[in-house]
Amino acid sequence: MTALMEAPVETRTSAPALLELRGLTVDYGRARAVDGVDLTVHEGEILGLAGESGCGKTTIANAVMQILRPPGRISGGSIVFRGEDLVGKSDEDMRRFRWRNVSMVFQSAMNALNPVMRVGDQFVDAMRAHERIDKKRALGQAQELLELVGIDPDRIRSYPHQLSGGMRQRVIIAIALSLNPELIVLDEPTTALDVVVQREIMQQVEALKRDFGFAVLFITHDVSLLLEFADRIAIMYAGEVVESAAAQRLGTDAQHPYTQGLLRSFPPLSGPMQRLTGIPGSPPDLRNPPSGCRFHPRCPHCAPDDNALYLRQTTERPVLREVAPGHAVACHLVEQEGA
């Protein structure tokens, strides 16, 4: 009985896997932007992927959609969607896969709308590119979707310039929903918007996710947003996932010094105010990443005093290990404490 009551609360993660990255590696010429990443998005969950600019988070999204720009190419690993490996699929298969199963909303996607085309026609275009549907029905669906994202359905007759940035971004999300995808990839969808609009959009995504049951891969550099809206969070640094856990756990019990640094970068809105330090230094050049743990040059816990540990930190790459159910960390320090 007691054993049952003490079962982990993260039952969500036991939903079947929708998208699984296994050892995904992406190269841009001599720079390895993504290096052996394992990541799973389960059905109906919001997985947040966070890290600084250049850590490889957007590259992962582009790899999943297979829209990497040359010289970017997948040089290893697999991208498994519902049990099927997408790597090496034909362009035609990928075209059908995109939108039919997965939709992507880019950063500043609001600028992706065609400026000389009415909003409604852009829905019709997107739908007709992927399925046979007559225009009248498509417009009807467009109106329903606009209403869902909190925009007056009559706006199908508007041109993009007649809408605010936040409204345009919601139109894009509505178009992304129009083909009823199983997974939506949101790449910094609210970064260009102010906080009030950002919150409205996030609340809408959350509500739509509940109604439609799609999963979300949410990419941002703003961990505070993920702590509130994501189910699970993966933190990336220099092409690797360094920590992943349920959002609530990550917020209260982050183990990786990089995650801890990210969380300490936000000034609080209430309570005592302390001088914050952020994370000194900058992310490494991926053409020539540091040896050992890639975070070691910026790590506050990496000093030559402890000889054995320092040697490992600077020469040996840490691997992701589970420190608790559903909570994995790649750090020599954590490993050592656990041992």
Partner 1 sequence: MSALAPLEVRGLTKHFARVHAVDDVSFELRPGTITALVGESGSGKSTVARLLARLHDPTSGSVLWEGGDVSRVRRRRDVLRYRSEVQLIFQDPFDSLNPVKTVLYHVERPLRIHKMVPPRQVEERVHELLRSVGLVPPHEIAAKYPHELSGGQRQRVALARVLAVEPKVILADEPTSMLDVSIRIGILNLMMRLKEERDIAFLFVTHDLASARYVADDLLVMYAGQIVERGPVEEVLAAPLHPYTRLLLAAVPDPARRLETSRIEERKGLAAAAVDPPDRCRFLERCPLAIDICSHVTPPLVEARPRQSARCHVTAPSPLIERTP
Rank residues 52 and 306 by Cβ distance to partner 1 and give the closer one: 52
- Could you list the beta-strand ranges (E) of the chain: 17-28, 31-42, 46-50, 72-81, 84-85, 102-105, 183-187, 215-220, 232-237, 240-246, 321-324, 327-329
Rank residues 12 and 95 by Cβ distance to partner 1 and give the closer one: 12
For residue 122, give the 3-state DSSP assignment: helix
Tokens, residue 329 = 């960390």
- With residues binned 3-state (H G I as helix, E B as strand, rest as coil), the percentages for the chain, rounded to 5, are 40, 20, 35
CB of 210 to partner 1, least distance (A): 13
Query: Is residue 213 exposed (0-12), middle (13-18) or buried (19+ Cβ within 10 Å)?
Result: exposed
CB of 171 to partner 1, least distance (A): 14
CB of 172 to partner 1, least distance (A): 17
Rank residues 39 and 163 by Cβ distance to partner 1 and give the closer one: 163
Tokens, residue 178 = 């129009």
Which residues contact partner 1 (rule: CB under 8 A)?
Answer: 52-53, 150, 164-167, 193-200, 203, 221-225, 227-229, 247-248, 251, 261-262, 265-270, 273, 275-280, 282
Q: What are phi and psi of 317, to 5 degrees?
A: -80, 125
Check: CB of residue 199 under 8 Å from CB of residue 234.
Answer: no
Distance of CA 297 to the CA centre of its chain: 26
CB of 251 to partner 1, least distance (A): 5
Q: Distance between CA 235 and CA 222 in Å, rounded?
A: 11
CB of 13 to partner 1, least distance (A): 17
CB of 194 to partner 1, least distance (A): 4
Rank residues 21 and 208 by Cβ distance to partner 1 and give the closer one: 208
Rank residues 139 and 235 by Cβ distance to partner 1 and give the closer one: 235
Rank residues 70 and 267 by Cβ distance to partner 1 and give the closer one: 267
